[in-house]
Amino acid sequence: MQGLMMDYPLTMERILEHANRLYPRKRITTVLPDGNVHRYTWADVHSRSKRLASALGGLGIEPGDRVGTFAWNNYQHLELYFAVPCSGAVCHTLNIRLSPDQLAYIIGHAEDKAIFVESTLLPRFEAVAARLSRCPRIVLFNGEPGIRTALSDTCCYEDLIAGGSDTFEWPVIGEDAAMGLCYTSGTTGEPRGALYSHRSMFLHTLGVNQSNAVGIVESDVVMPVVPQFHAMAWGLPYACAAAGAELVLPGPHLNPGALARTIAKEGVSIPAGVPTIWTGLYEELKVNPRDISCIRALIVGGAAMPRSLIEAYETELDVPVVHAWGMTELSPLGTVSRLQRHHRALPDADKWDVKARQGVPICGVDMRIVDDSGNEAPWDGRSMGEIQVRGPWVIESYYRQDPAPDHFTADGWFRTGDVGAMSPDGFLTITDRTRDLIKSGGEWISSVALENTLMGHPAVTEAAVIAVSDAKWTERPLAIAVRSPGAVPVTVEALRAHLASVYPKYWVPDKIVFVAQIPKTSVGKLDKKVIRRQYAEGQFD
Ligand code: ADP
């Protein structure tokens, strides 16, 4: 028997209409490239998105066409997040930090019809355009009037908006139509495209706003430090519109001092970013203390948040940390770590252990752990295996790529490539990515665990561990570490002893090398591809 409820398409325009109808005066604040602040409201986002959407046809953009964005976090980028999908086209956020060759590959693969480029990034984009066989239509924004470029076929964003109509009627779009396209940042290989639908992003928005997840409410002021070009800024702009929350978009000002200032000045209650950002902010606040008591949840994801940093935030700065795990392929939110009722009685030290785990799958994400022989592993906190997921906002196949068995199982699960264990109470702990695990003498060693413990040492700010070939043991861990500025210099032997106090002897790297900095990917994660290359080039000899 069929249910008798409405067939109500889950499309992005419903979210924008909701924000406009119910929260028209709530603010969107952007820190502009020159440091000044631009403020407007959800009502402005609504009317300008309508104007923009109505003008896209004039650029020759039709439903289903891919429209690229090449920009920092700002209000124009937010308008593109709504106007493009609500007009029926696909918002393709380009990661400005990728190399020109990678970007040229991605733009060619996506066949972007137009690209909206922030003017301050024009030189970077011109290097990309020089590699394109056919340059799409370019729309420039956030720049000086009369900006010069060698690119042909450019126009100005504000002219486009001025020529549009704010009484434009949104076209009727099926909920299964594509709305957004994000390529993975290529941490483990060539970039691959995840093509979100209106329905998947709508449901992800509701998922983000579950109270066990991020749980944004009307009174929140949310600052995605995570770039809008990375996994749809973790879906936070849509979640804010749905909740009626205010947004703060930091533009290009991502250095710790600027972030601390913006958080304090704008009263940010939920900042969200990768661990490196929060390491920087913590160091900054130690030197230049500020009142950041406005933060009610510091969201961290994209890489493992070291337990020591969680503890430092919670005990020294009194800032509650919420650690989450996700992937571009999951729109991206998968799990969130929040203390549960049965953790209340734990001593504080154990609470940081819980928070350092990646957390509990949010409702809508099914998860299983599959061992080397293809069997589902028990949730006993010890049995490790590959994490596989399925759900309405999980990828079914990559854009323009045949579903390969190394990404998707025959029974319909997505293979994340992450390795981990589930505790009996449903908390995921990621031990590694499949290709970062170290197999030494037939036993697995977790590079993430070693990195976390190294970073837990007061004289180390950052550390990375890779596998290096070894004639006897097949592989051995090699660690590189950055010394904390100002701390008493630590020796390799002291660090080895520190690790040996926690792990079996065979886990302890034979070699630990101090470096000035650790290579990072375009989104601030440890770049193990580059570290491996540096090792092969003899840089750690
Ligand atoms: P890329 O694959 O290019 O790095 P993503 O940003 O989609 O792009 O990265 C997803 C991956 O990041 C996950 O598969 C996982 O390995 C890692 N990751 C994300 N969040 C966490 C976390 N909280 N702890 C550990 N690893 C994480």
pLDDT digits (tens, 9 = 90+) for 465-517: 999 988 778 889 999 999 988 888 899 999 999 999 988 888 999 999 999 99
b/e 320-330 (16+ beta carbons within 10 angstroms → b): ebbbbbbbbbb
Q: What is the pLDDT of residues 322-370, one digit of tens each?
A: 999 999 999 999 999 999 999 999 998 899 999 999 999 999 999 999 9
Residue ranges, comma separated, of all CATH 3.40.50.12780 domains in the chain are 12-21+42-209, 255-430
pLDDT at 509: 95
Tell me the pairing of strands 333-337 and 360-361.
Answer: antiparallel
Nearest to 271 by CA among 206, 336, 319: 319
- Along the 541 residues of the chain, how does pLDDT read in single tens digits? 999 999 999 999 999 999 999 999 999 999 999 999 999 999 999 999 999 999 999 999 999 999 999 999 999 999 999 999 999 999 999 999 888 988 999 999 999 999 999 999 999 999 999 999 988 999 999 877 677 888 888 999 999 999 999 999 999 999 999 999 999 866 556 789 999 999 999 999 999 999 999 999 999 999 999 999 999 999 999 999 999 999 999 999 999 999 999 999 999 999 999 988 999 999 999 999 999 999 999 999 998 898 999 999 999 999 999 999 999 999 999 999 999 999 999 998 899 999 999 999 999 999 999 998 899 999 999 999 999 999 999 999 999 998 787 899 999 999 999 999 999 999 999 988 877 888 887 777 889 889 989 999 999 999 999 999 887 788 899 999 999 888 888 999 999 999 999 888 889 999 999 999 999 888 788 899 899 999 999 999 8
CATH of domain 12-21+42-209: 3.40.50.12780
Distance 187 CA to ligand 1 centre (A): 9
What is the CB < 6 Å shell around ligand 1? 184-188, 231, 301-304, 323-328, 332, 358, 416, 418, 430, 433, 523, 525
Residue ranges, comma separated, of all CATH 3.30.300.30 domains in the chain are 438-536
- 190 included as an active-site residue: no
Residue to mutate, 278, 336, 430, ligand 1, most ligand atoms under 8 Å from C-beta: 430
Distance 181 CA to ligand 1 centre (A): 18
438-536 belongs to which CATH class?
A: alpha beta
**Catalytic residue (choose from 283, 314, 409, 444):** 444
- 439 included as an active-site residue: yes
- 444 included as an active-site residue: yes
Q: How many CB atoms lie within 10 A of CB 412?
A: 10
Indicate which residue's Cα is closest to atom 27 of ligand 1: 303
Question: Which atom of ligand 1 is least distant from the CA of 416?
Answer: 14
pTM over 0.85: yes
Reading the block at residue 526, the tokens are 């440890």
H/E element, 415: strand 414-422
**To 5 degrees, how large is the angle CA 226–CA 299–CA 392?**
80
Distance 189 CA to ligand 1 centre (A): 13
- Could you tell me which residues come within 8 angstroms of residue 21 by beta carbon, excluding any fewer than 6 positions away? none
**CATH number of 255-430: 3.40.190.10, 3.40.630.30, 1.10.1740.10, 3.40.50.12780?**
3.40.50.12780
What is the number of alpha carbons within 13 Å of residue 225 lying toward its C-beta?
29
